[in-house]
Amino acid sequence: MLDGMGIALCLLSAACFGAMAIFGKLAYAADVSPAALLLVRFGLAAALLWALLLLRPGLRRSPGSPERTTDSVLSTPTLLATCLGLGAVGYAAQASLYFAALELMDASVLSLIFYTYPLLVTLVAVLLGRDRLTPGRCAALVAASCGTLLVLIGAGSVDLHPLGAALAFGTAATYTVYILVADTVVGRVPAVVLAALVMTGATVTMTARTLVTGGVDLGFGVQGWFWLACIAVVSTVVAMLTFFAGLRRTGPSTAAILSTFEPVVTTTLAALTLGELLTPLQLTGGLLVLSSVAVLQLRGKRPDRPSDVPVPASKQPVGVG
């Protein structure tokens, strides 16, 4: 039923991720610390995903490939380690680098550097032979990158902290690796199972860090827990499931380009909920990002791989798990 909806799924994922900055600001206003936010976000998301798999056994297998089940993943050490590593290394490392950079530089500049990852993903995917650098994709990438630049520069200051910039670029590089590695397993693992394993890996890392640093304060009020629940459900569970489903159908380059819709959503929501007005520069940037979506929409499907690169059976398109 979701075949051909890869672009829409990636956009929905970007919108959910884009809302997280707003939820995060509201959580901080309710006395939630960054460490508590990350620990609760990953832990609650993992618990929700495993509960979903327990209540809906059908989600443990891919409809188009009955052999791809939770048991088959758990019994394959390499595949299991990859899925857990996506969370333990990818999600956890990216979050740690991001918040370390945020302490040294403005959020707008950090986001500007972070959103170099679509370019990194596209270039690496082409070098690895996973995607082709077609004129349409080049146009979409340029439009999305320029649009994101305008959206974020329109937010204000452009002061640059050298160490902060290095950490921000590390965040982009980490997310690039995360997307490219995830692309190798999305066709082999049911989507909900993959999301649950990723969140479990991230939870283990954050729990270990919490124990080493002496724990976190979870004594905030009901309001703080509400915003954390929004982050876990909307900006983690829904965002991850739709991203994996979209990634499977569009490929890493297109999924990364479409993810540049995220700062547009964040900026718009900030204007609507926090009173942060959109500038003409930001509006222009938003239109450019949307134009990149239109360009990709004309393509419709994930492009064929180069003829000399075999496509393993495990990478054939399958339904959402």
Under 8 Å between Cβ of 30 and 230: no
| Short-list 309, 285, 300, CA closest to 145 | 285
pLDDT digits (tens, 9 = 90+) for 109-129: 677 677 778 778 878 888 888
| Short-list 266, 281, 253, 294, CA closest to 146 | 281
Number of domains in the chain: 1
pLDDT of the chain, 321 residues: tens digit per residue: 444 588 889 999 989 988 887 888 888 889 988 889 899 999 999 999 999 999 988 877 765 555 566 667 777 888 889 999 999 988 889 888 887 777 777 666 677 677 778 778 878 888 888 877 778 778 877 887 787 778 767 756 555 578 888 898 899 899 899 888 888 887 788 888 888 999 999 999 999 999 998 888 898 999 999 999 999 999 999 998 898 888 878 887 788 778 778 877 877 787 788 776 667 877 787 778 767 766 765 554 444 433 333 333 333 322 222
pLDDT digits (tens, 9 = 90+) for 178-217: 888 888 887 788 888 888 999 999 999 999 999 998 888 8
Please indicate, yes or no, if residue 167 is contained in any of the structural domains: yes
Please indicate, yes or no, if residue 317 is contained in any of the structural domains: no
Tell me the HSE value of 88 on the side-chain side, using a 13 A CA sphere: 13
Please indicate, yes or no, if residue 311 is contained in any of the structural domains: no
Instruction: Give the rounded percent of residues in the chain with a pLDDT score beyond 90.
Output: 20
Q: How far is CA 304 from CA 5, 249, 251, 298, 308, in A?
A: 17, 12, 10, 15, 11
Please indicate, yes or no, if residue 111 is contained in any of the structural domains: yes
Crossing angle of the two packed helices 6-29 and 280-299, in degrees rounded to 10: 150
pTM, to two decimals: 0.74
Please indicate, yes or no, if residue 316 is contained in any of the structural domains: no
**CB under 8 A, 24+ apart: contacts of 205-214:** 205/87, 205/88, 205/89, 205/92, 206/38, 206/39, 206/42, 206/43, 206/92, 207/39, 207/43, 209/35, 209/92, 209/96, 210/35, 210/39, 213/35
DSSP secondary structure code for residue 75 in this structure: T
Please indicate, yes or no, if residue 106 is contained in any of the structural domains: yes
Please indicate, yes or no, if residue 310 is contained in any of the structural domains: no
pLDDT digits (tens, 9 = 90+) for 129-162: 887 777 877 887 788 778 777 876 775 655 557 8
DSSP secondary structure code for residue 302 in this structure: P
User: What's the angle, vertex CA 171, arms to CA 195 and CA 39, rounded to 5?
Assistant: 50
Under 8 Å between Cβ of 16 and 269: no
> What is the DSSP code string of 33-48?
-HHHHHHHHHHHHHHH
Please indicate, yes or no, if residue 315 is contained in any of the structural domains: no
Rounded to whole angstroms, the Cα distance separating 314 from 210 reads 37
Full residue range of the structural domain in which residue 81 is found = 6-216+224-302
